[in-house]
Amino acid sequence: MTDAAALLSDLVAFPSVCRTPNGAIVEWVHDILARHGVEAHVLPGPEGDRANLFATIGPRDVPGIVLSGHLDVVPAGEGWSGDPFALRAIGDRLVGRGAVDMKGFVACLLALVPEMVRAPLARPIHLALSYDEEVGCVGVRHMIARLPELCATPEACIVGEPSEMRPVLRHKGKVAGRLTVRGRAGHSSRPDLADNAVHLAADIVGLVRGLHEGFSRQGPFHPLFEPAASTLQVGIIAGGTGVNVVPDTCRIEWEARAVPGTDPMTIHDALQAGIETLVAPLRAAGRTVAVESEVLSLYPALDLPDDAPLRGLAEAWSGREALGAVSYGTEAGLFQAAGIPSIICGPGRIAEAHRPDESIGRADLEECCAMLRRIIGHHSRK
């Protein structure tokens, strides 16, 4: 195994599933950096049992580059041919939960730390490792908020999500929410004396479909995306206890993906306005109905201009031509929103993520390490 592959084996062994404590993996990374003389800041989140980690190699007082990854993984689920948290080789591929999304990139970062430390860096390289990316880019928000006290404003950020080492310029933004529809229970023989929460929820699902169809017809459109417009859909609906009981509660979980230039929260607000239009006359008529709303995740789109200097640099470092857009989302939009030009570029294929027997190729790790060496050279004194 290469150093990166050995480090990946150690990383995969931590079952750092999103929404669970991550102290063990953060401490392990902190200890590795400390052994190479790198000071790392452990930045606890408000949850109290999870933390980000931020480290700088090179001078802190000049702009540098952020290399960003997340330490959490999605739950393993069923269908694995072996232990998902024990990295194993199948041919030239390394299999384990998080191998490609995105502990492979983190392993490459850690493998190159000795070379970063030895290099005469004129501009710093920052390592930014976050928690709970998989549930809406939760942790990185707290880390970005603290960047002004940790370093000079970075001049660029690379988020190492799997992109087959092609720099990616754009992705859609996202907002997801939960609606709890309240009614009044009753016997199904007298529905006139009750308020059916499932029926009201069905009307709300109709609102969701109508908004989605409006985007499909009217845009705004972005030709690099498939589909080219923003989208809105219901993923979960659940309510009721029996066919002879008028249900008093129904839960809806929905998601919107917004093209660059559209704030995802404007879609949320449009849905809320539609719900109020539905509910207000029912309340005015004395019906016992209410809809509670909660935002589950939110992040902005990434939209790096075609002529941005970072595009040319990333193409030179990766040796690959940039890709205009991808359908998945990342933390890059949040770095961009903080004024840091950002791009996606990392090893492996996104199609391998979030599935049983998730894997990354040994060659993918080597290619990523080669890119990181070019970044080290670019940031070193000539």
Q: Is-contact 153 341, C-beta < 8 A?
A: no
State the DSSP code for 80.
-
- 3-class DSSP string for 6-63: HHHHHHHCCCCECCCCCHHHHHHHHHHHHHCCCCEEEEECCCCCCEEEEEEECCCCCC
Which residue, among 178, 191, 203, has the nearest Cα to 247 in the 3D structure? 191
Q: Is-contact 121 30, C-beta < 8 A?
A: no
Peptide bond between residue 167 and the one before it cis (omega within 30 degrees of 0): no
- Per-residue pLDDT tens over the stretch 332-379: 999 999 999 999 999 999 999 999 999 999 999 999 999 999 999 999
Q: How far apart are CA 308 and CA 106, in angstroms?
A: 26
The model's pTM: 0.92
Residues annotated catalytic, as ranges: 72, 133
Is the confidence at residue 1, as pLDDT, over 60?
no
The pair of three-digit structure tokens given for residue 106, joined into one six-digit string? 């983190």
> Is residue 80 exposed (0-12), middle (13-18) or buried (19+ Cβ within 10 Å)?
middle
pLDDT tier at 382, thresholds 50, 70, 90 = low
- Per-residue pLDDT tens over the stretch 224-261: 999 999 999 999 999 999 999 999 999 999 999 999 99
Q: Which residues contact 58 (CB under 8 A, 6 or more apart)?
A: 64, 116, 119, 121, 122, 123, 124, 125, 379
Which residue has 């993520």 as its token pair?
Answer: 353
pLDDT at residue 334, rounded to an integer? 97
Q: Apex CA 119: angle with CA 130 and CA 142, to 5°?
A: 15
Which residue has 């670019």 as its token pair?
Answer: 378
Give me the chain's average pLDDT, please.
Answer: 97
CA neighbours closer than 13 Å in the CB half-sphere of residue 99: 31
